[in-house]
Amino acid sequence: MRPVGSKYLLEEPLGRGATGTVWRARQRETAGAEAAVAGQPGETVAIKVLKEELANDADVVMRFLRERSVLLRLTHPNIVRTRDLVVEGELLALVMDLIDGPDLHRYLRENGPFSPVAASLLTAQIADALAASHADGVVHRDLKPANVLLKQDDRGMHPMLTDFGIARLADSPGLTRTHEFVGTPAYVAPESAEGRPQTSAVDVYGAGILLYELVTGRPPFAGGSALEVLHQHLSAEPRRPSTVPDPLWTVIERCLRKNPDERPSAENLARGLRTVAEGIGVHANSAQIAAADGVGALLMPDPDPAQVPGVPGAADPTQVLPSNAGSYDPNAATSVMQQQGHQGNQANQWGDADPTSVLPNRGAADPTAVMPPVPQNPPGGNPDDPHPWQNQLRAARDRNEQTQVQYLDPNEDPLRRRPQRQVARPQQQPRQQQPQQYAPRQQRPAPRQAPQPQQQPQQYAPPQAPPPQQPRPPREPRQRSANPMKIPGLGCLKGCLFMIVILFVVSWLVWEFTPLQDWIGTGKGYWAQLSDWFSTVTDWIGELGGNSGN
């Protein structure tokens, strides 16, 4: 147990990210007036201890102190509350509410993608959190599944957005000199990558990527290297997965617009997603279906987006990394990307999932040396073991219709052949400007989803089956049946006849080629012996009939 300040004791590490290590901790005594939440002695909290590089940077410390009020006042049901900030010696730490649940990245990896309804409702709550922070002038800038914790309570599962302000702290001129930026490649908005001014629209772009990942299991832009991913953000159009209904695709596509001015505000995004969730559920009435189909009209941009102050220059993808940069892990930690002069030794910064390689190495032997090394398997359980709470979730989800997932091997999806509820819905024409979004596999009809009847709009349901959007595919030619008239029992009769033939052949072989007939002493051939037995039996039956007649 290590003290953090005089008020907290670190108990065990919960995880390590690019900017620090998160610990389960206990409150020793009530915090002072400067804390947003005073807390009670013995209360459990989570504490993010920032890395030594950050803690040692005078500019970060300044920012930390300056942003204290912003971080402490950000309160929303879907934002992990920052309770206190600790600055002590060379230690910077954020004290947060402890969230009992996995992060969304881990949940997705272990449970597979969400149904379109569930993904819409979950992302709507994240958009609520973004709308609240944008209204307060705070842009998250590092939205990704790993920064969404899933909190379970009596009313369901709630996404809780965390790491607010961390990107801003890491954005210190000392750490991110000109031509560097903080972010995670798979979720970086084109304007961040290009060094254009950033606004709250970068979070909406991140929400679009996250939404895409929720319904497909992977972000839209992938590649062998971070550089490739970055280029795709700048120039590639996302490919439409077959399981995404039209209204949901409209939302995703608008969030992923290259031009930030064309993306919806977070508030409109939340409203649009709830409209979509209502309109694509199995219980949708015609008005809800029509509203979902017209969701595009709801997705108005923010006329006055929150600005990211002092945006650093961005990484020019053509200059940042050598072409042989390490293979890119989309789930890698937040990166600080450098543009000039470090190509050689920074090549791995974008490619490696190693969160400790992210910040510029300033010669410290161990960049996490401010705290003891984090064990891979922290005491009290293997971090890769499913959380007990996740098993409950999985069970709850399995009781419902399951998501049909495009990239899953059908043989590995035992729920796939379950009957899916369908609802008649006007067919929509594919959008003309997105012909490539209709993959050949879209021929498969996508069934509609079955929302929880008692489900509250603020909660998302376990993943369910997606709705029909595509025309029914041509049926496979039927196999010719040996029983085309479907005569009952014919299969059984064939089996019996087959067995009789087998028995006959076997008995003939035994009779002719074994010493059996010598042992019995008849000396007769098989047929003669058979007809003998046959006449004996018919005589016996005749006698029986005669006796009963008398």
Ligand X SMILES: Nc1ncnc2c1ncn2[C@@H]1O[C@H](COP(=O)(O)OP(=O)(O)OP(=O)(O)O)[C@@H](O)[C@H]1O
- Residues annotated as part of the active site: 142
For the segment 295-324, give every residue that binds ligand X (CB under 6 A).
none
> Sign of torsion, CA 456 457 459 464?
positive
**Which residue has 């560097």 as its token pair?**
180
* Least Cβ distance, residue 382 to ligand X (angstroms): 14
- CB nearer to ligand X: give 133 or 334: 334
- CB nearer to ligand X: give 201 or 358: 358
Q: Choose, by CB under 6 A, the member of 10, 11, 17, 104 that binds ligand X.
A: 17
Piece in contact with ligand X (CB under 6 A), picked from 13-21, 301-309, 340-348, 488-496 = 13-21
Cross-strand bridge partners of residue 45: 25
* Least Cβ distance, residue 324 to ligand X (angstroms): 24
φ, ψ of residue 502 to 5 degrees: the values are -60, -45
φ, ψ of residue 186 to 5 degrees: the values are -65, -15
- CB nearer to ligand X: give 47 or 270: 47
* Least Cβ distance, residue 144 to ligand X (angstroms): 7
Cβ distance 80 to 162 under 8 Å? Answer: yes
For the segment 344-403, give every residue that binds ligand X (CB under 6 A).
355
**Which residue has 């439409």 as its token pair?**
240
- CB nearer to ligand X: give 166 or 292: 166
Q: Is 280 a residue that touches ligand X (CB under 6 A)?
A: no
Report the residue closest to ligand X, judged by CB.
17
- CB nearer to ligand X: give 368 or 452: 368
In Å, what is the CA distance from 527 to each residue of 111, 180, 408, 530? 68, 97, 61, 5
Quote the Cα angle for 147-394-111, to 5°: 50
For the segment 81-120, give every residue that binds ligand X (CB under 6 A).
96-99, 103
Alpha helices by DSSP H, listed for 368-486, are 388-398
Alpha helices by DSSP H, listed for 143-189, are 166-170
Q: Is 163 a residue that touches ligand X (CB under 6 A)?
A: yes
* Least Cβ distance, residue 16 to ligand X (angstroms): 6
Quote the Cα angle for 355-408-156, to 5°: 70
- CB nearer to ligand X: give 107 or 249: 107
Q: Is 269 a residue that touches ligand X (CB under 6 A)?
A: no
Piece in contact with ligand X (CB under 6 A), picked from 115-123, 139-147, 295-303, 309-317 = 139-147
* Least Cβ distance, residue 395 to ligand X (angstroms): 22
Piece in contact with ligand X (CB under 6 A), picked from 9-17, 390-398, 509-517, 518-526 = 9-17
Give the C-alpha separation, 271 to 276, whole Å. 9
* The pair of three-digit structure tokens given for residue 301, joined into one six-digit string: 């941009």
Q: Is 15 a residue that touches ligand X (CB under 6 A)?
A: yes
Q: Is 334 a residue that touches ligand X (CB under 6 A)?
A: yes
Size of the site for ligand X (CB under 6 A): 25
Q: Is 22 a residue that touches ligand X (CB under 6 A)?
A: yes
Cβ distance 245 to 427 under 8 Å? Answer: no
Of 70, 217, 90, which Cα lies nearest the Cα of 137? 70
* Least Cβ distance, residue 133 to ligand X (angstroms): 16
- CB nearer to ligand X: give 20 or 467: 20
Cross-strand bridge partners of residue 231: none
Q: Choose, by CB under 6 A, the member of 5, 8, 19, 249 that binds ligand X.
A: 19
Q: Is 210 a residue that touches ligand X (CB under 6 A)?
A: no
Sheet holding 44-50, edge to edge: 2-4, 8-16, 20-27, 44-50, 91-96, 82-88
Q: What is the amino acid identity at position 110?
A: E
* Least Cβ distance, residue 185 to ligand X (angstroms): 11
What are the strands, taking DSSP E only, across 1-155? 2-4, 8-16, 20-27, 44-50, 82-88, 91-96, 148-153
* Helix, coil or strand: residue 14: strand
Which stretch of DSSP H or E encloses residue 158?
A: strand 156-161
Piece in contact with ligand X (CB under 6 A), picked from 19-27, 198-206, 304-312, 435-443 = 19-27
* The pair of three-digit structure tokens given for residue 35, joined into one six-digit string: 């804390």
- CB nearer to ligand X: give 47 or 320: 47
* Least Cβ distance, residue 85 to ligand X (angstroms): 14
Count CB atoms within 10 A of the CB of residue 61.
18
* Least Cβ distance, residue 466 to ligand X (angstroms): 28
Q: Choose, by CB under 6 A, the member of 333, 359, 371, 450 that binds ligand X.
A: 333
* The pair of three-digit structure tokens given for residue 63, joined into one six-digit string: 């920012």
What binding mask, one character per residue, do residues 140-159 give for ligand X by CB under 6 A, x or -? --x---xx-x----------
- CB nearer to ligand X: give 189 or 273: 189
* The pair of three-digit structure tokens given for residue 462, joined into one six-digit string: 């376990």
Contacts with 54 (C-beta within 8 Å, 6 or more apart), sequence order: 19, 20, 60, 92, 169, 170, 172, 175, 359
Please give the residue ranges that form the binding site for ligand X (CB under 6 A).
14-20, 22, 46, 48, 80, 96-99, 103, 142, 146-147, 149, 162-163, 333-334, 355
